[in-house]
Amino acid sequence: MNLEEMQEIWNSQDDEQLFAVNQEALHQTIRRKSHSAARWLEFLEWLLIGVNLTAAFFLAYHAFQEGGAMFQYAVAAMYTAYGLYALVRRLNRRQVEMRFEETVLGELNKALWQVDQLIRWGRSLPLWYLLPLALAGSLTLILNSTAWWKAALLILVVPAAYIGVRWEINKWHLPKKRALESLREQLLATENEPPPTL
């Protein structure tokens, strides 16, 4: 729903058209977009926390059972660090979200900030997450040459994850950000418009 669809344009007493923003409909649209971005952030955060801590547990358990080498424990520690980092980022995000005003413009700014967070996560993912894990996985494969199938899996998964994240940003998050920015511009323009003269 765009701003034009949310306008009330009829004043029955004077038979003249007035353009006033239906604040409730606008607020509902913004709230819906904000909840959508928040759900994506929640999903991404819990996915990273869960996957990394689960992987860390199984890798550490496997290394302990087999009397593994130090590098195996280092990879498990790396997964633990990523899981904890995602948890800290989640807590920080929740604190920042509480600072936004509970107004229409505040909700809109919060939705824009949330979409920006999703874009930043996606753009930084290859550098701080995929690349170090690919290097750690490569080291593991070099030191354990019997796991050739793991090398093939790693060669497929890392580029696929990178391409998937870029596609998600371009297909979902950037268009959503542009729509929110347009809505914000229209909202600010209607607030700054002088009242109609008679």
26 within a domain of the structure (yes/no): no
Cα 77 from Cα 90, distance rounded (Å) = 20
DSSP secondary structure letter of residue 20: E
45 within a domain of the structure (yes/no): yes
Helical (H) or strand (E) element with 27:
helix 23-65
> What is the pLDDT at residue 154?
73
6 within a domain of the structure (yes/no): no
> What is the pLDDT at residue 71?
78
Overall size of the chain counted in residues? 198
> What is the pLDDT at residue 28?
79
> What is the pLDDT at residue 63?
83
> What is the pLDDT at residue 49?
93
19 within a domain of the structure (yes/no): no
> What is the pLDDT at residue 142?
72
69 within a domain of the structure (yes/no): yes
List per-block mean pLDDT (blocks of 10 residues) for the chain, which spans 198 residues: 49 47 71 83 91 90 83 86 93 93 87 92 83 75 67 77 90 92 84 58
> What is the pLDDT at residue 13?
44
Please tell me the total count of domains within the chain.
1
176 within a domain of the structure (yes/no): yes
Query: Strands, DSSP E only, in 20-172?
Result: 20-21
Give Cβ neighbours of residue 162 (< 8 Å, ≥ 6 apart): 125, 126, 130
172 within a domain of the structure (yes/no): yes
48 within a domain of the structure (yes/no): yes
**How do 20-21 and 7-8 pair as beta strands?**
antiparallel
Task: Determine how many CB atoms are found less than 10 A away from the CB of residue 133.
Answer: 20
> What is the pLDDT at residue 72?
79
pTM of the model: 0.74
> 88 lies in which domain range?
31-192
DSSP secondary structure letter of residue 148: H
- Which residue bears the tokens 């979902």? 172
> What is the pLDDT at residue 93?
93
Residue 101: φ, ψ to 5°: -65, 150
Q: What's the start-to-end Cα distance of the chain, in Å?
A: 30
